[in-house]
Structure 1
């Protein structure tokens, strides 16, 4: 979603209010001035018409001229051609401005009862119109000045109003996540910002309580998971020391010991991830090709249905990485088990340079699972309840190694996972 600046929106709103206010004010002034002028002119011309009507004594064409008025009386039976051109075809009751030869006049045509005829009263308002044009220019200039002032006022007002909000935002951004987080101060001048600070502080307290509970749970789980694994390994040592096992039993004990050690490594790694600890720093050389072969052999013992269904493609006999062997094996094992568990057909695994490709021919992943894997690169977007446990482990392990993990294809014909490995040695 496109983001917008609150500061820009606030300044735009303030400027818009100022602009609308100025525009409405200018229009109101213009309408009021025009109405006053029209009223005054209408009354003046009506009084002038009454005066000159009283001056008509005979039913003949008559004219009167003063400094501002031109008055004509046209008897009822006289032709209009006797009038000036600008008065032709003006009916009784006509009242409007007329322009001719660079002159502006306002004209009223009145009906005279006795003697019957029409009285044309026109007033020269050229000077007034010029003055009105000048007034309009002044008003427009004033409006432009007010708009310019409004622009600066809106910028200043928005900056002033948002200053405490920016301070609060910076304080929130400065809060570093951890077991003990610094609380926001309540020194804001406005009550609303102090209320936001209080709400954020309560949220931090709740988060610390959740983190403390998780820390306690992980600590307890660490003890509870390590103990039975140590007991199993100890029991295997006792069995071997008795030297009473047959050759077949010794092979079985060896498989149990190997699986137990693998489980212990996985447990240590998962607990480390759960605690949010930094990388352990125990990188070592691991041959990916050899590791895949061992994992394929181990997986056969987990489920008879997995036997003979893994097809391994590799161009080179050795692909050496300088990485965490436990995490690398965890990624490969979980991807293979996930693929074998979701299809009855063969599963293809291929290694080429720094790319690990696993393809199955099942019914494909759900849309939510694909979206969740794609969102893993964006912090805070993963939904744990929408990933299978195996894929979740793969995601966490890849993040730990800073490897890429993505779904290349997933539809009714199957799914292809890509793991982009790093730290290639040879």
Structure 2
């Protein structure tokens, strides 16, 4: 029988470490596809549309996570826990995506092939995200959600920062195949870690080992599709659910626009090269992720998730207004690096602060489905934001882009402000008490 050292339900320390590592693992594809590949294409003559298309492709699998989420809620191998079998399978898919990308070996001008490579790599990461988020809703106590969110999104930011830097350097100097092969051992290590864990005492580590489903899971798991659909629909149609979806959509569209603008801005105004830009973005991302773990925990503890989300959305608008008012500084490397640090910080904090809102609104009976619908409906606007960028005219209309982004950020802040959940202050210490 496993001791509490490996049982997530019995160890706060293990939960925080596990969620950090899971999100670190799914941050690796994010860094490669959202940082390294776009600047690699831009630095090799790619157009505004090419870059925006690839950024949009990176987030597209995350926009349809509700499909695997519904399957996870309906079909589970409960003897291994409600989510862990799916989690392990997703990690195999992620490794497969990197392997396919390495053998496909697209050039920076092969936009069509790169599009499918990005979809393949991010597909496995998106399915893992569904399993991890469902596990978080199932197993995290309310007073641990703020701290866990900080560790989760801090871990993803660290993973994205490390993979963005290494991936950018490898793409420029070692070639695309090596750039993708480098990350397979890291994902494999997290896969082995997942096999050692248990959700609850008495479950199986693997299908062929001894163990059984807990009575709690047997009572909780929905047995019919209609039950899942009805329960999810009722929970999603509440006032606060609708407001949260709309507000999150606005701020995520802003982030999609900024993700398209940033690498093109770096090449057009500062003449950055692939490795130089990816290293800078990854370094600032790493710094911001470490800082965000502390800041996010403090915000959740002192202000509550709703007020914290209002603040972060408002600061997105401030970032856009500063860029509009400081056009004479656009060629300053120092200013660009500082703004990149702020942008990365805000992106991580936005996830940390809104995550408890989604958790609090999710019905545990359909946790994976409902929580993932929230995430899908906030990820789809990232792709929409890249399309808005192209529709408005790309970098030739940079001033208009920033005005639109600022307006969307302000709408998001207003939406978060009128929510009626998220005022409960979570006990989200940056250095949690360990059991």
TM above 0.5, yes or no, is no
If you compute each CA radius of gyration, which structure gives the higher value, 1 or 2? 1
**Structure of higher RCO (CA pairs closer than 8 Å, 6+ residues apart):** 2
Interval of TM-score (by shorter of Structure 1 and Structure 2): under 0.3
Whose strand proportion is higher, 1 or 2? Answer: 1
Whose helix proportion is higher, 1 or 2? Answer: 2
